[in-house]
Amino acid sequence: MSFNDSPRLQSTKLILVLADLAGYAKCFRDHPDEVMAAFIHRFYLVCADVIEAHHGRVVKFMGDACHAVFPGDGGADAVAGMLDLRRGVATLAAEHHLNVELGANVHCGMVVEGQYGRPTDPHYDVMGSAMNHTALMGRGPGLRLSEPVYRQLVSAARSPWRRVKAAATYHYQDESPDA
């Protein structure tokens, strides 16, 4: 079966968001599972409310993570949503006396979206190298934007953001003794 054989999948440009709770594993190692589950349930509700209010769609939740998408020209909405979600997580953490913070990556790119899985039990999802890029943008607390999302922001909304250059990397170059 090829991509063209599946009418349920299409290539499209989307704003991709991966958000999770930095400090979650450490924070919950000494709490009962029921407390953890209740907190995550509240986190999911906050995520869904904020993302939908900013014209996005939750794709899925997994553990302490939320994967969401916004229209391809919705960078400003996605960023505003993540700023609101950051405040929502801070409020939730304070209410529960927990030391967790939002970490989120926001990127824009081409993906293949649609209904994946069996026709009798389809699940909306997105796949592609842009999704992989989003996952590899960084981890831990804080909000991270890719250049294509940053460029969608109006000038006034860009001022709190600073460009972070990647750390230097060194590559091993094999020097043959015969060289």
Give how many domains the chain has, as a whole number.
1
The predicted structure's pLDDT at residue 31: 87
User: What's the whole-model pTM score?
Assistant: 0.88
Identify the residue whose tokens are 């979650």: 24
Task: List average pLDDT for each run of 10 residues in the chain, which is 179 residues long.
Answer: 64 98 91 92 98 98 97 97 97 94 97 93 95 93 94 92 72 64
- Does 74 reside within a domain? yes
- Does 71 reside within a domain? yes
Q: Which residues pair with 103 in a beta bridge?
A: 20, 142
Single out the residue of 86, 81, 95, 63 nearest to residue 16, CA to CA: 81
Bridge-based pairing state of the strands 142-145 and 101-116: parallel
Any idea what the CATH number is for the domain that residue 16 is in?
Answer: 3.30.70.1230
Torsion of CA 147, 74, 139, 101, to 10 degrees: 130
Cβ neighbours, 10 Å, residue 162: 6
Distance between CA atoms of residues 139 and 103, nearest Å: 7
Cβ neighbours, 10 Å, residue 8: 12
- Does 176 reside within a domain? no
- Does 21 reside within a domain? yes
The predicted structure's pLDDT at residue 133: 94
The predicted structure's pLDDT at residue 179: 53
Give the range of the structural domain holding residue 77, as residue numbers without chain letter: 10-158
The predicted structure's pLDDT at residue 135: 94
- Does 164 reside within a domain? no
